[in-house]
Amino acid sequence: MRDAGSRDDRVEIEAIADRTAIHGGDAPAAAPAWRASLDLEFARRGARTVLEKRRHDGPLVVQKAFYPEGDPACHVVIVHPPGGIAGGDHLAITASAGAGSSVLLTTPGAARWYRSRRALACQELCWQVGPGACLEWLPQETIFFDDAQVQSAVEVRLSAGARYIGWEVLCFGRAGSGERFQRGRVRLRTRVLLEGRLAWMESARFEGGSPLFQSAAGLAGRTVCGTFVAAGPGLAAIPRDALRVLAPGKGEGAVSGLPDVLLARYLGDSSESAKAYFAALWSVVRPAIAGVPACPPRIWST
């Protein structure tokens, strides 16, 4: 069995997506909707964090755990073999990081939400972080094809002393091929709870072609936006001046802080610039939050 992060796997995933894109971004007409779930449980065993249990149903898998920074942190690549999410699909991913564990989750490539015209596509992510544990969710960018119908929710549940770092980079339409998000609907929600108490919540609704995409209070004519979130002990130790001097190569970035959450935003037209900006922020935030320097997953270099 090949590793989830191998070049062959990435090529295969891209090839599936390309075949689907030939049909104008629609999933093949005869393809059934996917209902898939993935449940991961991590535990601290001595000095090492291990992937203790994994259960999946449908096309959501992980193939092995990686340790590029030694025993404490376990890196896992979540693979969705179909390569994209079509109308009617429903994906549910849960991960539990046991007490004292350290987990980094990422993806091998961009998530594509295909045109579906009417059928809603859904994704639910739930991260449970135990006492003193650290979980990082650092996926590649998300691309919403024109006329996609999307509902996506992320919930982060932090126990006492738990820490979380996460980001999302959203691309509306395929700018490289001249496509804009003129039709469709995207609904997003993120919640971060600290010991059961709501620390931060954000909901967004994007209607294709709406004035929000051109409004100065919205995307101001840009096609890519992103959010970086950090929560847990160590926020006070983050050098805010070091964060504020960082800037995207293309587009705009900003950093703000709430009592229990640090936020950063990106607005521009380049997913690569957004990811590079967030990675630079991560290199400052991670030592304060997780106590170790940033160590980019190997899949990002393939």
- Asked whether the predicted pLDDT for residue 55 surpasses 80, the reply is yes
Query: What is the mean predicted confidence (pLDDT) over 193-213?
Result: 96
pLDDT of 23 reads: 33
Task: For residue 4, name the pLDDT band (cuts at 50, 70, 90).
Answer: very low
Closest CA to 69 of 111, 103, 24, 92: 103
Query: What is the mean predicted confidence (pLDDT) over 144-152?
Result: 97
If phi over 0 gives left and psi between -120 and 50 gives alpha, with beta otherwise, what is residue 159? beta
Q: Which two tokens stand for residue 54?
A: 């994994």
pLDDT of 126 reads: 98
pLDDT of 31 reads: 55
Mean pLDDT of the chain: 89
176-183 contact pairs (CB < 8 A, 24+): 179/25, 179/145, 179/146, 180/146, 180/213, 180/223, 181/144, 181/146, 181/148, 181/206, 181/208, 181/209, 181/213, 181/223, 182/146, 182/147, 182/208, 182/209, 183/146, 183/147, 183/208, 183/209
DSSP bridge pairs for 134: 102, 163
- Asked whether the predicted pLDDT for residue 17 surpasses 70, the reply is no
Closest CA to 145 of 177, 121, 173: 173
The pTM for the full model equals 0.88
Query: What is the mean predicted confidence (pLDDT) over 144-160?
Result: 97
pLDDT of 34 reads: 85
Q: pLDDT digits over 57-93, tens only?
A: 999 999 899 999 998 899 999 999 988 999 999 999 9
Query: What is the mean predicted confidence (pLDDT) over 165-174?
Result: 97
